[in-house]
Chains A and B, each alone.
Chain A
Amino acid sequence: MTETIIGHRTTRVDGELKLTGKADYTSDHNLPNQAYGYPVPSTIACGKLLELDIDEARQAPGVIEIVHRGNFPQLQPSDNNPACGTAARLYRSPSTMAEQNKVGEVRLPFEDDGIHYEGQYIALVVADTFEHARAAARLVKARYEVHEAVPGLFSTDDEGEEAGDEAVSRGDPAGAYETAPVKLDQTYTIAMETHMAMEMHASIATWEDDRLTIYESTQGVVFQRNALAQIFGIPPEKVTVIAHYIGSGFGSKLFMWPHAVMTAVASRMVGRPVKTVLSRQQNFCNAGNRPASRQHVRMAADRDGKLLSIRHDSQNETSFIDSYTESIGSGTPRAYACDNVSVSQRRVQVNHGTPTSMRAPGEVSGSVALEIAMDELAIELGMDPLELRRKNFAERDPTADLPWSGNHLRECWDDASRRFGWEKRNPEIGSMRDGHEIIGWGMADATWEAMRSHCKARVELRADGKVQVACGTQDIGTGTYTIVAQTAAELTGVPLSRIEVKLGDSMLPAGPLSGGSMATATVLPAVAGATRDVIEQLKQIAIADGAPFAGKEADSLEFKNGELSDGSRSVSFVDILNAVPRGMVEGEASAAPGDEQDKFSFRSFGAHFVEIRWDPGISRLRVSRVVSTIDIGRAINPLTAKNQVEGAIVMGMGMGMFEETEYDPAGNIYNNNYADYVVPVHADIPDIEVELLDNPDYNFNEFGARGVGEIGITGMAAAISNAVYHATGKRIRDMPIKIADLID
């Protein structure tokens, strides 16, 4: 096979399994003798659990055990509670990225009697069937001491605590602002969002002696394995985490949540596998969120539009039990050429579950304020918003004074604006009409950092003609199975149909989290290394005594199309391996970033152009067209990569127009379901035209890929808001934009 596979539109190798219902997601597994866990959530957001009445639930049909503070191992040593087994103590996970054991909520379930947010678990009912567990969970009664809750960032005067390591400053932003001729000083807010991955969080835990196996819908099998090992005080080798298929995560499944710990403990207590699937409602409370944020932007420019000063000061919500920082301004210092920039971040404690990463965490929120502010500044200057951005293009990374490895933002602007027809835009507010509808055109930049981490992989060639690639990362829907197969196919010349990819199991060579758009750049170099290694091993076998190329130099052989060749004769790897006792050969490799970060700044850039239609007669707001051009280096698979950008654009529409997790004054969520927490549905979807530039970034890795999951969402909400302003003259700085904001 001479045809190149990398960079081609390949349909997913796991497609048929997904399309026939055979792909095994977590809750599709059922283990022998499995019991069902159903959590009991707190109905208050702040206070103390005084009393838990489980008598009635205990007597309900099918109930096996009720796990709660009174019998949870940490609080009651094993000799007092035989149900706990022998190793009764639990430990908190250190929860660090470096040790790869970060968890979503550090507090262990039932650790104290404090209630810190609505929905916090107060018990887990374990019963023989799902129906019995659910019914009994409703019979658990609790008495609380209720304290006044802080229901959210927008209902408190608390300024919060400064996240010192987020502060960035260059030049003299305050001084430059004072003397500048054109200024902007505005505040922007974004409502709390919930990930709403279609597959709800789920764990199935089972113990064999002191070995724990847990099926989990997770974006990080290795992280969860390490965290569970810490929590149970057992070596990581004794924990196996499995996630073959994940109904997506968008960040909510990066780091383990308490239901997994609770389920693992329950399984040990009852001596059976226990399956816990969180209800949709519980997914809102206990599995992370994008915290609400408030951003204060002060910006100044000269009369020609040259940026003189940017100050971007943000606050984000965190919980009372963890300290979560949303790095909202982290993209700002690199966004434009400006000598005087400062960024700060504060955390404000509220009675919500701990926030976590949600698609393009931090930067997407920052892009809302920054990119609306740029639009406002352009209007102030009487300048085209695209022109203002062109004027302030950063030729180098202004923070590190490093050259960009590849910054094709100008190409993105040119391509997307041309396809959109931006030059036909009449800048006058409300000037573009189509029948009843007023048309608004807005634009914004998109950007996301390129990250890479370390990774191991294993490749086996087998006498049955198969190539198997294994890596302990996972495919959350992004297409990792497929691009890994493409890589092995490209380097071996073996057709995709004979490549098997194993992911989603912590027993495999350790792979990265599926998050931060770093999986592709992290995993593929390791897969390539392992493939090369296995080819080397095969050559050694082939030159051994009695083998087809006995006596030849390994270096004189070439591996192509699944065959070893010395130039005159080719022998397939199947024939070579058939002659060896094991019938297979394996190669391994690990790959990590080198010193390239010291030489270049790696970031992806893009631009969104958005058309909205506002029908004032019936107060209808719609996004009618999105044209985006994004540069992600090389797309390993343009079919799946484009799909991701389109999906991120849809989620950006959600951020701009629909999504808001709403709390009442007591701190209870009142829209904890798919009907009331509004996400974009099919009828909301406009024409979306995405182009991916193809500028491989070989400084970053041998495949030139920078990753693709996050960038599409950045800038989207701002582009919509800017388009809304163009149509209506109403500047909406609070996301999501509501119809009520537009009605006169």
Chain B
Amino acid sequence: MADKDDKRPDHDDQGKGRARGVEIHDARAPSRRNFLKSVGATSLAAATAPAWARVGYVNHDEQEPQDKRADEGEAPAKGTQRITLNVNGQAHTLDVTPNMVLLDVLRHQLALTGTKKGCDIGQCGACTVHVNGVSINSCLSLAVMHDGDEVTTVEGLGQNGKLHPIQQAFLDHDAYQCGYCTPGQMMSAVAILNDAEVASDDAAVREAMSGNICRCGAYKNILSAIQTARKNV
């Protein structure tokens, strides 16, 4: 399979796993600075856009002039709001603009790209995550609404390097093809299995899973995977 350690310089996801937010702060490492980034002065925008507009995700602090950095504890930048998201058991303090969507914040700022975007308007289910134990479409939710919330994404399903029973069941039953809808399918499946209101028969599961489209059409195997995982969760 694709080797993520490919040595081509532009190949690896540089910055993946690093803080990529407008402002990111790891609560477990309180000494880490919050920083506010500006777009590199090399770009055309730097010459034309007003200074306040130059807030980007770009966070290569080694490239940034010292005086552009905000020190820890500095107030959030104009037009942003500071929130704390607890994602997969880890707290992140972020400054977000009001139009930032939870899905995009997870993918762009926190580099949690396991959660997928299939439509961006709440129609496909690819972006399903759990917020405080409830499954939601993260593309339909503004990040500022989630201050203090507990978010679980596909990256947080397995524990201690072991697959979650739903992941194991999806593997065993080949409950996917391209795998793009799969994180969302599994997040919904876990929510359904934990929801006493959803009956356990096939028809009920099919109905309850109908917010998660699988264009590859792996539905039959998704159903068997869920019914198998039921025994193990």
- By a beta-carbon cutoff of 8 Å, the part of chain A in contact with chain B is 11-25, 27-35, 58-65, 83, 127-132, 135, 196-200, 206, 208, 213, 240, 242, 244-248, 250, 270-273, 277, 279-280, 476-479, 481, 500-505, 507, 639-640, 643-644, 646-651, 673-675, 679-683, 685, 688
Contacts and interface: CB of A to CB of B under 8 A. Distances in A.
27 contacts: A14-B1, A19-B154, A19-B176, A20-B114, A30-B15, A32-B60, A61-B49, A63-B48, A127-B45, A130-B104, A131-B99, A132-B56, A135-B99, A197-B178, A198-B124, A199-B178, A250-B215, A500-B3, A505-B2, A640-B177, A643-B177, A647-B217, A649-B217, A680-B217, A682-B206, A683-B206, A685-B220
A247 B178 CA distance: 5
A213 B10 contact: yes
A30 B177 contact: no
B97 A128 contact: no
A130 B100 CA distance: 9
Interface stretch (B24-32, B65-73, B165-173): B165-173
Contacts of B172: 11
A673 B177 CA distance: 22
Contact of B180 (A247, A679, A688): A247
B68 to A, nearest CB: 14
Contacts of A213: 8, 10
B117 interface: yes
Contacts of A127: 45
Contacts of A476: 178
B181 interface: yes
Contact of A198 (B15, B16, B158, B181): B181
Nearest to B11: A242
Interface of B: 1-4, 8, 10-11, 13-16, 20, 39-40, 42-45, 48-50, 52-58, 60, 63, 97, 99-100, 104, 107-108, 111-121, 123-124, 126, 153-155, 157-158, 163, 167, 170-172, 174, 176-183, 186, 205-207, 209-223
A271 B42 contact: yes
B51 to A, nearest CB: 10
Given A27-B113, A213-B10, 18 more contacts: A19-B176, A19-B179, A19-B186, A20-B155, A33-B58, A58-B48, A62-B53, A64-B45, A83-B44, A128-B43, A128-B45, A128-B57, A199-B116, A206-B10, A248-B180, A250-B215, A477-B178, A651-B217
A680 B217 CA distance: 8
A476 B178 CA distance: 6
A17 B178 CA distance: 12
Contacts of B215: 196-198, 248, 250, 651, 679
Contacts of B123: 280, 673-675
A21 B127 CA distance: 12
B1, B167, B207, B209 pick with most chain A CB within 10 angstroms:
B1
Contacts of B16: 30
B178 A198 contact: yes
Contacts of B154: 19-21
A354 B49 CA distance: 37
Contact of A23 (B44, B57, B179, B209): B179
B217 A646 contact: yes
B217 A129 contact: no
Contacts of B205: 682
Contacts of A35: 43
Contacts of B167: 16, 19-20
A290 to B, nearest CB: 14
A65 B45 contact: yes
Contacts, number: 266
Contact of B217 (A14, A15, A131, A650): A650
Contacts of B213: 198, 674, 679, 681
Given A647-B217, A681-B213, A11 B174 contact: yes
Given A12-B171, A16-B171, A682-B209, A129 B57 contact: yes
Q: Which 9 A-B pairs have the closest CB atoms?
A: A21-B114, A477-B178, A650-B217, A247-B180, A18-B179, A647-B217, A128-B56, A61-B53, A477-B177
A315 to B, nearest CB: 28
Contacts of B116: 25, 198-199, 247
A683 B222 CA distance: 12
A200 B158 CA distance: 27
A649 B112 CA distance: 33
A19 B163 contact: yes
A495 to B, nearest CB: 15
B111 to A, nearest CB: 7
Contacts of A131: 97, 99-100, 104
Given A246-B178, A501-B1, A64 B206 contact: no
Nearest to A34: B58
B2 A504 contact: yes
Contacts of A688: 220
A277 B113 CA distance: 14
Contacts of B176: 15, 18-19, 477
Contacts of A18: 176, 179, 182
B14 A280 contact: no
A63 B45 contact: yes
Contact of A199 (B115, B118, B186): B118
A139 B171 CA distance: 46
B200 to A, nearest CB: 15
B121 A33 contact: no
Given A21-B183, A30-B13, A198-B181, A643 B221 contact: yes
Given A13-B1, A197-B215, A644-B177, A31 B220 contact: no
Contacts of A31: 10, 14
A280 B117 CA distance: 10
Given A21-B153, A198-B178, A477-B179, A682 B210 contact: yes
B187 to A, nearest CB: 10
A7 to B, nearest CB: 16
Given A32-B14, A197-B215, A673-B119, A21 B2 contact: no
Contacts of A648: 217
A14 B170 CA distance: 12
A248 B2 contact: no
A683 B207 contact: yes
B121 A128 contact: no
A127 B224 CA distance: 45
Contacts of B114: 20-22
A30, A35, A273, A505 pick with most chain B CB within 10 angstroms:
A30
Nearest to B1: A14
Nearest to B97: A131
A31 B9 CA distance: 10
A20 B181 contact: no
Contact of B44 (A270, A273, A651): A270
Contact of A11 (B171, B179, B216): B171
A200 to B, nearest CB: 7
Contacts of A646: 217-221
Contact of B177 (A29, A60, A248, A682): A248
A237 to B, nearest CB: 14
